[in-house]
Amino acid sequence: MNPFNKKFGTHFIQSIPQKSGVYQIYNNQSVLIYVGKAKNLRRRLGNYKNAKRKKKHQKMKEIISEASFIKYDVCDSELQAHLLETKLIQSFRPKWNVVGAFYFMYPMIGMLQQSNNLIFIYTTQPHLFSNFIFHGAFRSREITRDAFFSLIRLMKYIGHSLAASKIPAYPSIKYSYVYGFRQLPSGWFAIWELFWKGESKTALELLILELVENAGARKNAQQIQQYINKLNRFWIHEAQLLKKVRSKLNYLEYPVSQQERDLVFLKYRYQTRRKIPGPSFTEDRTSTANRKEEKTCPASPCRGEK
């Protein structure tokens, strides 16, 4: 007998409505192991029943081998189904769901001004650094991290790194990096806020002008250009994209929380009915090379890596 029919009965599929919805698959310990959405619940679950010995069906076959029972919720629209699916994945992080399960790893960039000092932070745990003004949440750790460390390296040509004793003590948190600078041009806090928000590129333009006047920067022009390119990539694929989505939806809350970011983008995608350009979900996975770079961040005060 078909493994699916053996577990759920030969009439199970016919009992499922042909409507949009979300299905939840549980194991024999009543643990949610997979959540999926469907335009047509009956057709989608029928795919599990008819899974063949093909590589593309392997995941479905393994899920059914662990499954004990299936529940489903009918939704009024495909968007409602997608939103419910995302919320369930975020809440329960089922074994077989990857996309959207690790929203808490979406990075945020924060700034803090103390007298004439400007302090920057990259973190995935903004709630632990309440005195910073944060921006984001951003989707790609790779693009955001590259932009952050590029800025830190470039700032060393413009200002002076703060000694560790001059930076407020923060907990040592994985994937959290804090750097401070003094003697930066006046007004830079405000213009870099606009850059992170995707509202103005003036900060990058002024940074380039400062670098042009710096002999050390001119000497390392090729490397400097690489750093600028990474900041520009962030501007296009993260800062401007988030600003565009917020504006289109008239989403006033800022920063967008890590948990809300996927939901906001889903609403935008369904409203515009087109694919959003930029980094894919898979591009965001940290490669070995990226992990190495995290450990070899520029030598300056870094409270996140004591």
pLDDT in tens, 9-31: 999 999 999 999 999 999 999 99
Q: What is the pLDDT of residue 167?
A: 84
Q: Is the pTM here over 0.75, yes or no?
A: yes
Q: How far apart are CA 72 and CA 23, in angstroms?
A: 4
Task: Please report which confidence band the pLDDT of residue 126 belongs to, taking 50, 70 and 90 as the band edges.
Answer: very high
The residue ranges of DSSP E strands in the chain, in sequence order, are: 21-26, 32-38, 69-74, 108-114, 117-123, 133-135, 160-161, 177-182
From the DSSP assignment, how many helices (H) and strands (E) are in the chain?
Answer: 13, 8
Q: What is the pLDDT of residue 302?
A: 44
Which DSSP helix (H) or strand (E) runs through 89?
helix 78-92
CATH of 3-101, one of 3.10.180.10, 3.40.630.10, 3.40.50.11400, 3.40.1440.10: 3.40.1440.10
* CA angle in degrees (0–180, nearest 5) for 215-206-153: 55
Task: Please report which confidence band the pLDDT of residue 292 belongs to, taking 50, 70 and 90 as the band edges.
Answer: very low
Stretch 137-161: mean pLDDT, rounded? 97
Task: Please report which confidence band the pLDDT of residue 85 belongs to, taking 50, 70 and 90 as the band edges.
Answer: very high
Q: What is the pLDDT of residue 177?
A: 95
Q: What is the pLDDT of residue 275?
A: 52
Are 240 and 229 spatial neighbours (Cβ–Cβ below 8 Å)? no
Return residue ranges of the chain for CATH 3.40.1440.10: 3-101
Q: What is the pLDDT of residue 273?
A: 77
Q: What is the pLDDT of residue 204?
A: 97
Token reading at 56: 């593309």
| More confident: 134 or 274 | 134
Tens-digit pLDDT profile for residues 261-289: 999 999 999 988 755 554 443 344 344 34
Best CA proximity match to 31, nearest among 65, 62, 69: 69
Q: How far apart are CA 118 and CA 102, in angstroms?
A: 30
- In this predicted structure, the answer to whether residue 101 has a pLDDT above a threshold of 70 is yes
pLDDT, mean over the chain: 89
Query: Which residues does 88 contact at the CB level (< 8 Å), separation at least 6?
Result: 22, 24, 32, 35, 94
Longest dimension (CA), the chain: 77
Q: What is the pLDDT of residue 94?
A: 96
